[in-house]
Amino acid sequence: MSMLIDLRNERWFISSLERGLNVINAFSGAKPALSISEIAKLSGTSRASARRIAMTLEALGYLARSDGNQYFLTPKTLALGTAYLSSHGVGDALQPILRRLRDMSGRSASISVLDGEEIIYVARASASGPLRIHINIGQRLPAYATAMGRVLLAALPDQDFDVWLRNVRLEPFTELTITDPMKFRQIIETVRAQGYCVVEGELGPGIRVLAVPIISAQGTTVASLNLTTQSAFDRELDVVAEFLPEVRQAAMEISGVWNHLQVQNVRDMLEPGPG
């Protein structure tokens, strides 16, 4: 029988690190903004300790503060989960689904996560021939100019997105790149409403991408899935009408595998080691 051994009384245990992680975990979809008193209560620490931890996390860029002196998580906290994706074989487990989507559509399929102002590719099945676009696992691209990035940004709480938009530099990659903050905000609101995003020619000439969210069992967006083509070969193609149902179906399958991996890795952590 598996059991979790409490090691908090060991000499090497760093209690301040535990308290810092508890503060981060105090935030949720139901409680995206917290006062110091609320942080202290939800994290199980004193008010003075909660204040010091919150100020430290703010200085490090993991928390931000509203005018009303409430704290909220910044997109930088998403970087804490990036190592998990590469260290637990997530990409390998999702590869069969990506290959099926690629083979069905004849176009490249990829998965990415948000890391600050960029997306990181964590899995990919590339198309062959003239529709092939060279992207490598681990490659980073600016979130604002990509369909997957906009899907991931649309999933952020309003306060987190406001912070992100204030800090990012919207620089043009092509003449079509959206660089006006107000127009970009409107685009993100549209993505939120429709549940998918299409971007064409903003990162590179003629590149057209359809992206949808990958949603966890808890209802949160954990990653994004895309299908990529080139306008020169698909000039008359309506990618939404042609591929959206299949891409959404693949995203649902990926979500199921993703959630299974999370559960399995938690179980592995709880299993006692040899001896």
**Are the C-beta atoms of 182 and 188 separated by less than 8 Å?**
no
**Phi then psi for 189, rounded to 5 degrees?**
-65, -40
Say what the pLDDT of residue 260 is.
64
Per-residue pLDDT tens over the stretch 23-41 = 988 887 678 889 999 999 9
pLDDT in tens, 175-197: 999 999 999 999 999 999 999 99
| pTM metric for this prediction | 0.68
Please check whether residue 115 is in contact with residue 142, taking contact to mean a CB–CB distance below 8 angstroms. no
Compute and round to an integer the Cα radius of gyration of the chain. Answer: 21
Using one digit for the tens of pLDDT, what is the confidence trace for 140-166? 899 999 999 999 999 998 988 998 999
Q: What is the pLDDT of residues 68-108, one digit of tens each?
A: 789 988 867 766 655 555 555 566 778 899 999 999 998 89
pLDDT tens digit sequence for 45-67: 999 999 999 999 999 888 988 87
Per-residue confidence at 233, pLDDT binned at 50, 70, 90? low
pLDDT(264) > 60:
no
Mean pLDDT over residues 252-275, rounded? 60
Question: In the predicted model, what is the mean pLDDT of residues 250-262?
Answer: 81
Per-residue pLDDT, 251? 94
Q: Which residues contact 124 (CB under 8 A, 6 or more apart)?
A: 98, 108, 109, 110, 111, 135, 136, 137
What is the average pLDDT across 110-116? 88
Rounded to 5 degrees, what are φ and ψ at 213? Answer: -80, 155
Q: Mean pLDDT over residues 198-224, rounded?
A: 90
Checking if the pLDDT of 132 tops 80, the result is no
Q: Is the pLDDT of residue 1 over 70?
A: no
Predicted pLDDT at 234 = 67
* Nearby residues of 171 by Cβ (< 8 Å), 6 or more positions away: 177, 179
The pLDDT confidence band at residue 268, using thresholds 50, 70 and 90, is: very low
**What's the mean per-residue pLDDT of the chain?**
83
Percent of the chain whose pLDDT exceeds 70: 82
- φ, ψ at 214 (rounded to 5°): -105, 120
Position with higher pLDDT, 122 vs 5 = 122
Q: What is the pLDDT of residue 38?
A: 94
